[in-house]
Amino acid sequence: MKRFSALSLGFLLILLLVGGIFIAGCTTTTPTTTTIATTQPTIAAEKPKLLIATTTSLYDTGLLNYLETKYEAQNNVDLQITSQGTGKAIEIAKKGDADVLLVHSPSQELAFVKGGNGINRRSFASNYFLIVGLANDPAGIRNMTPEAAFTTLLIKGTNKTAGVFFVSRGDGSGTHTAEQKIWSNAKFNYTTQVEKSGDWYIEAGKGMGETLQMANEKGAYTFTDEGTFLAYKSNLKLEPIITKGASLLNIYSVMTVYNDKQPVEKLKMANDFINFLISNQTQADIGNFGVDKYGKSLFTPMTVTVPTAPAGNVGDHSTPAIDLKPPEAVVTNTTAAK
């Protein structure tokens, strides 16, 4: 009986062992699925762009880069700056390829606004034009009035006086326009009596910085704004020869570009930039610009001096820019928007 019980118990244990193995083999275990969370990168919204067409003197001096950094730090705006002569900058604005026009040619600016292409014209700074040349002054014009100096240059240049050459911007810029105005004041017809008067008169067709470099290489006289001359002075053998005269005043103004397709949001952005330029803080920044490097400011802000000039040459310089369209009396421009 004991034998049977032991055998029976052994047999039962074997059966249980085999059955356990069988059950284990037939049982499937569902693997645990681990979900890995993925973090999508956050894409920053693109800043709205404000397109500025400007003159080379404001760019060559570094003033616009200086102000651009300050403006973008305060505003969610990407300033896109195109530097051209005033004439070309105005062409860009008329085509609707700029939101802000920033130049220095009062007569052209007033015509631009009168034509319905611009609103909120504000003057924000000034400096002076100079006639620069070699220290030995081969034409003998030092300390003359600008008109007398130009007359002497023309006479001696056409008579082939040694060393007498003049390099003009020749590009329809504000500086070129101011030069032509002096020729007119001196009673010369620029097109017929100056422009093609001989090899002494050279038209660069370039920006102010490049024109200064060309005059420097030639040992010639040239007509330049004071700011760009100071910025390039260390690399030039030229020096100021004529620095005084009412016709040398150089006024910088800014305006919102207008056409009837321009979104209101862009007009407001342009106005904001204008208000930034005429703000007390920016005016102070303009007044300090260049002092540490050149010993004097490259530009005089309107909060320091409002120059005396013919009517219209100095625009409003304190009233906030708020207009979103020209006055009813002005025929609006229908240039297609960008």
State whether CATH 3.40.50.150 applies to domain 128-248.
no
Q: What is the mean pLDDT of the chain?
A: 88
Distance CA 167, CA 287 (A): 30
Assigned token pair, 128? 């002076």
Residue 30 has pLDDT above 60, yes or no: no
Q: What's the whole-number mean pLDDT along residues 278-289? A: 98
List 166's β-bridge partners, or say none.
201, 221
- CATH classification of 49-126+251-301 is 1.25.40.10, yes or no? no
Question: What is the percent of the chain with per-residue pLDDT over 90, rounded to a whole number?
Answer: 79
Q: What is the pLDDT of residues 118-150, one digit of tens each?
A: 999 999 999 999 999 999 999 999 999 999 999
How many CB atoms are located within 10 Å of the residue 184 CB?
Answer: 14
Residue 112 neighbours by CB under 8 Å, 6+ apart: 90, 93, 94, 101, 118, 255
Q: Which two tokens stand for residue 118?
A: 């611009």
Confidence band of 40 (pLDDT split at 50, 70, 90): low
pLDDT at 39: 56
Mean pLDDT of 191-214: 96
pLDDT at res. 25: 45
pLDDT band at 113, cuts 50/70/90?
very high
pLDDT 10s digits, 46-84 = 899 999 999 988 988 999 999 999 999 999 999 999 998
pLDDT of residue 43: 63
Query: What is the arithmetic mean of pLDDT over 265-291?
Result: 97
Tokens of 176: 């070129």
Residues of the chain with CATH 3.40.190.10: 49-126+251-301, 128-248
